[in-house]
Structure 1
Amino acid sequence: MSVPTDRKFLGRLSLPERRYLTDALRTETVGGVLLLLAAVAALVWANSPLGDSYESVQDFHIGPAALGLDLSIQHWAADGLLAIFFFVAGIELKRELVAGELRDPKAAALPVVAALCGMAAPALVYTLVNVVGDGSTAGWAVPTATDIAFALAVLAVIGTSLPSALRAFLLTLAVVDDLFAILIIAIFFTSDLNFAALGGAVAGLAVFWLLLRKGVRGWYVYVPLALVIWGLMYNSGVHATIAGVAMGLMLRCTTRDGEEHSPGEHIEHLVRPLSAGLAVPLFALFSAGVSVTGGAIHDVFTQPVTLGVVLGLVVGKAIGIFGGTWLAARFTRAELNPDLAWPDVFAVATLAGIGFTVSLLIGELAFAGDEALTDEVKAAVLIGSLIAAVLASVLLKLRVRKYQALVSAEERDEDEDGIPDIYEQDNPEYHLRMAEIYERKAAEHRKRAQLAGASRDGADRPA
């Protein structure tokens, strides 16, 4: 019987993976700050003397009624703009499966188990609270999601930069989260099906896939087709964001000879700023505006539905991700990176309790028709995410010096060849270049010392 070999958990990423991660998270961080500002603006607007105008804008209907698309602004934000967000999520998932952290089943097992436990535990906590408190179990899926953009915004605000291995772990958790959130929306929040519209959407997706296979290019072909597919998917009864995911998964995310980037990566690079910088912040602006009063906050911690959401995000996420990670590492004999410690994993697990965008969306779907309860659930998502952010900030700040040293080592490039030195340490040419650099610096130092000595001799010599 073979004994499993030890593997490194949260070890150094490959250079291409690190570069992709850096570019992707840079955009997500900017988008996360905009998301944070949009959420604050929504709360201020909804709780100001102009609160009635906020509701009026939310409920304002626009769109062609003949096509079944006479929707409110809030509805357009949730079903329309978030389709862009899920399109990018689909590309991310495809890339992770074929070229990223999830392509190797053995390497993927640990973050996938962690993500699954990080979704199951919050759902269990929510259900337990509502069964004991005689509340509604309809919102079990609300605390299961992680908002990567909001989490990165928190890191930007507190001034903490995580080592690339921890950032990759957080991103992988979020990607797997998105996958299962998509499945939850598709399975549990699909209304009565219109099979004609659904058949049209499937036919449109088949045409989309065929055009990609034939190598047809041009946004003027794909954008109108994508809008038709989205409209048909919306009218089918399946949540319209599923159309975005499906199209994202169809893109090729592997490179061929002569290609620097795959088509999927190229399109993701173009669309991600639109998703992170416009679509998601606008969704937050028209969804996060809830009444925040002393009574409303009291209700969040006393009603079983809202208390279940808060505890699911704060307690369920942290325990689920950390416990799942520890157990998976224990039974796969994966060794933790010696530069990191298990408290680092717990801090990231706590940070993953920030469930904003998708949690708000699922809250709207779970309690559709009950406007008062929907607003209470939204308030619970905001408060739970805030508590998770504060706790994670404290835990991460305790290790900030260690992170700064690790990030500095990852980014050091003394030979200025565009490749971090940590990736060249086994290369003989690197050591030759470094020897030349050190010799040049030493010669410059000796020259400056001689000039300084000559200057002192001249100053000491009598006139």
Structure 2
Amino acid sequence: MSIPRHFANRLARSFTKLMGGEASAGVLLIVVALLAMIVANTSWAYGYHDLFHHQLAWTPIAKLDTLHLWINDALMAVFFFVVGLEIKREVLDGELSSAARRRLPVLAAAAGMAMPALVYLLAAGTAQPMQRGWAIPAATDIAFAVGVLGLLGSRVPASLRLFLLTVAIVDDLGAVAIIAVFYTAQIKLLWGIGALLMLANLILANRSGVRRPWIYLILGAALWYCVLNSGIHATIAGVLFAFTIPLKPLHRGDSMLLRLEHALVPWNSYVIVPLFGFANAGVALGGIGFRALLDPIPLGITLGLFLGKQLGIFAAIFAADRIGFAPRPAGASWMQLWGMAVLCGIGFTMSLFIGALAFPHHPLLVEEAKLGVLLGSLLSSLLGYAILRLAGAPRPA
């Protein structure tokens, strides 16, 4: 029996919508996470682990002797570089460029990081090494969350999408600061001085009006190499490098920052982040089992992402609106704001990254942390989507 034409047309339109625009990056992450979980729990598990963790026969940088390290320390530096470009653009010429605009997203992001950390500590306890995972549920995955919003189309007001993006960008800045302060090993002084010199040269190039990209790229690569060897996590170099890229328009009307951001965002969304997700999301359940979900670390992360995020962000928005500190986004109902707050509990990329930093000497705890991140992100995406779906069309501003 042939498929009715109208059904086939609807199916084609749904697929086009699913894989087009903002939704595609989020959908790709979902597929990658599922694929990593499947591979890690089949006969391919050994090959999967060997691919990413087996020592390379040759590497140009001694510290990066596995594919996993190249992804987490080198490719993810590019990811953080793009994050830094977005932060700088928003602070200087975007939604964070004035005090009035900054109030609500900064407050919401701060509450959305503090509450998950508190929930985690209440569930997991303050004993070592569990305590080191407090920051894992504090991060929001922009691509994943915006991808879910993209699936909802016109049901979500533009102001809500913009607010989620702004909160997530502030959230990323907070996550970068946490990594730099709380997950940095002992600093090697000479390499640290070298990094400072490279950073100073980049700032000098910006101040002197240098607009040749290759100069910045050479100095940025040198900055990354110095930071890699200094004991500070190498990805911090990506953010510092981004902050030195000029935003001032060139003679053609655009800027170096915008050109780099536009060039790298697709690579970030469709290559670097999916590759990182595939390399880090695979959890071998045979080694820990579903019962591990009730262990302190996965339970704390799951509750932190699923409950802590929405409680912190929604309470901050509600309180700010009621006391007159900052009005809620125009045209968004309270139910839609709740759905958006729930979606902020999707912590995939940054949470997996922090999880690996939190327990460097405890591989089993890293696996348990992955389980908590995946479950908390899954619950947040499903509930957030359901709430926004039921909330109806946006009301006029």
Return the TM-score normalized by structure 2: 0.88
1:66 to partner: Cα distance: 8.1
Q: Which amino acid aligns with 2:55?
A: H
1:35 to partner: Cα distance: 2.3
Distance 1:161 1:68, change over 3 A: farther
Per the alignment, residue 52 of structure 2 pairs with 58
- Is contact 1:313–1:388 with CA below 8 Å preserved after alignment? yes
CA deviations over 1:39-81 (Å, ceiling 9, x no partner): 2221121112111100101212338778542332112111111
- Is contact 1:355–1:381 with CA below 8 Å preserved after alignment? yes
CA–CA distance in 1 between the matches of 2:57 and 2:173? 30
1:366 maps to 2:381: no
- Is contact 1:99–1:254 with CA below 8 Å preserved after alignment? no
After superposition, residues 111-190 of structure 1 pair within 5 angstroms as: 111-131=105-125, 136-157=130-151, 162-190=156-184
Q: Which amino acid aligns with 1:275?
A: N
- Is contact 2:306–2:380 with CA below 8 Å preserved after alignment? yes
Per the alignment, residue 390 of structure 2 pairs with 398
| Alignment match of 1:299 (pick from 292, 305, 317) | 292
CA–CA distance in 1 between the matches of 2:74 and 2:93? 29
Per the alignment, residue 346 of structure 1 pairs with 338
CA deviations over 1:309-336 (Å, ceiling 9, x no partner): 0000000000000001111222235444
CA–CA distance in 2 between the matches of 1:282 and 1:225? 26
CA deviations over 1:389-416 (Å, ceiling 9, x no partner): 110011011124x14x87xx9xxxxxxx
Helix, strand or coil: the match of 1:71?
A: coil
Deviates more, 1:61-70 or 1:87-96: 61-70
1:278 maps to 2:259: no
1:356 maps to 2:312: no
| Alignment match of 2:233 (pick from 230, 235, 239) | 239
Deviates more, 1:132-141 or 1:102-111: 132-141
- Is contact 1:28–1:276 with CA below 8 Å preserved after alignment? no
Tell me the matched-pair count: 378
1:289 to partner: Cα distance: 0.8
Helix, strand or coil: the match of 2:125?
A: helix
Q: Which amino acid aligns with 1:276?
A: S
1:28 to partner: Cα distance: 5.5
1:224 to partner: Cα distance: 3.4
1:208 to partner: Cα distance: 2.3
1:198 to partner: Cα distance: 1.3
After superposition, residues 443-458 of structure 1 pair within 5 angstroms as: none
1:103 to partner: Cα distance: 1.2
Seq. identity, %: 39
CA–CA distance in 2 between the matches of 1:288 and 1:354? 14
1:275 to partner: Cα distance: 1.3
Distance 1:205 1:29, change over 3 A: farther
CA–CA distance in 2 between the matches of 1:250 and 1:132? 38
Distance 1:369 1:348, change over 3 A: same
Per the alignment, residue 262 of structure 2 pairs with 269
Per the alignment, residue 10 of structure 2 pairs with none
Q: Which amino acid aligns with 2:355?
A: G
CA–CA distance in 1 between the matches of 2:183 and 2:134? 12
For the aligned residue pairs, the C-alpha RMSD in angstroms reads 2.5
CA–CA distance in 1 between the matches of 2:378 and 2:276? 18
Distance 1:250 1:135, change over 3 A: closer
Per the alignment, residue 381 of structure 1 pairs with 373
Deviates more, 1:385-394 or 1:54-63: 54-63
Deviates more, 1:56-65 or 1:46-55: 56-65
1:160 to partner: Cα distance: 6.3
Q: Which amino acid aligns with 1:284?
A: G
**Structure 1 unpaired stretches of 5+:** 1-25, 410-463
1:166 to partner: Cα distance: 0.6
1:332 maps to 2:324: yes
Distance 1:294 1:77, change over 3 A: closer
- Is contact 1:296–1:376 with CA below 8 Å preserved after alignment? no
After superposition, residues 308-323 of structure 1 pair within 5 angstroms as: 308-323=300-315
Helix, strand or coil: the match of 1:55?
A: helix
| Alignment match of 2:25 (pick from 31, 40, 46) | 31
Return the TM-score normalized by structure 1: 0.76
1:93 to partner: Cα distance: 0.9
Deviates more, 1:272-281 or 1:373-382: 272-281
- Is contact 1:28–1:148 with CA below 8 Å preserved after alignment? no
- Is contact 1:73–1:286 with CA below 8 Å preserved after alignment? no
CA–CA distance in 2 between the matches of 1:334 and 1:140? 29
- Is contact 1:118–1:320 with CA below 8 Å preserved after alignment? yes
Q: Which amino acid aligns with 2:50?
A: S
CA deviations over 1:334-384 (Å, ceiling 9, x no partner): 444563211111110000000011100110111111111110110110011
Per the alignment, residue 290 of structure 1 pairs with 283
